[in-house]
Homo-oligomer: A and B are copies of this chain.
Amino acid sequence: MTNPKAAMLVIGDEILSGRTRDANMHFLAQEFTRHGIDLKEVRIVSDDPEAIVSALNALRASADLVVTSGGIGPTHDDITADCVAQAFGVSIRVRDDARALLQAHYDRQGVEFNEARQRMARIPEGATLIDNPVSVAPGFSIGNVHVMAGVPSVFQAMVASLLPTLTGGAPLLSQTLRIMRGEGEIAAPLGALAARFPDLSIGSYPFQKDGAYGANVVVRGADGAAVDRAMTELASLFPADQA
């Protein structure tokens, strides 16, 4: 069985300007790993229609599913829904079910459901709504693309709404060994180990701490017994350097 391949498109001027440090990509990566969905690529583009449409079309062609984050609020810089409609060549308009959700929400709050807020009910033709238990304004799925908010608490709630509807694969299992030796010392035996376990992914992530060199070696794969065997071999290669 092959795990589904996913991509993510972050619409994020605030990340590209360095104002905000990404949180949604990190969250989605962890959730997908747990659900056996392989996140293969992430692109971060600015609030520019051409950039969004072209990245979206590239990713939805290359991946089994695409998640987007950002740009579906009520302000002038929220252009994601229009770009998604353009990418799919469909129309977009205020949809009754989305409007009803928002109308009820603002009625409860005693707040005017003004024109800006009605923008959040604009949904491309043929899309399915994604539930937003935090702030009601829905995300939506169209084709293999799932469009979600950029505010982390809302993004996370929408991912929780979406995940049960996705078919995952075997969760990727991983084990890590922290080895207090420079990568240059461990590279040769590690390469040989990787060659003996071609179905596993064996990565080495070096670090420096208090002037000492070390590496976290991560063994990943869907076959838990193979991960165990590789880790046992790995540990026996560097018996005195584990920390």
Contact = CB atoms under 8 A, between A and B. Distances in A.
Nearest to A44: B42
Contact of A76 (B29, B114, B187, B218): B187
A182 interface: yes
B29 A18 contact: yes
Interface residues of A, number: 76
A184 B16 contact: no
Number of copies: 2
B172 A117 contact: no
A47 B17 contact: no
Contact of A207 (B18, B151, B207): B151
A147 to B, nearest CB: 16
A188 B17 contact: no
Given A22-B26, A47-B203, A151-B208, A220 B17 contact: yes
From DSSP, what is the main secondary structure of chain A's interface residues?
Answer: mixed
Contacts of A115: 188
B19 A77 contact: no
Interface string A37-75: 011111111110001000100000000000000000111
Interface in A223-241: none
A139 to B, nearest CB: 15
A205 B14 contact: yes
Nearest to A6: B16
B73 A183 contact: yes
Contacts of A99: none
A30 interface: yes
A86 interface: no
A111 interface: yes
A170 interface: no
A215 B78 CA distance: 14
Contacts of A201: 13
A14 to B, nearest CB: 6
14 contacts: A14-B203, A14-B218, A21-B21, A22-B26, A40-B45, A41-B46, A73-B183, A74-B184, A76-B190, A76-B195, A77-B194, A77-B202, A111-B182, A117-B184
Instruction: Give the 9 A-B CB pairs with smallest separation, nearest first.
Output: A116-B187, A18-B29, A18-B30, A76-B191, A117-B184, A42-B44, A75-B204, A74-B187, A21-B26
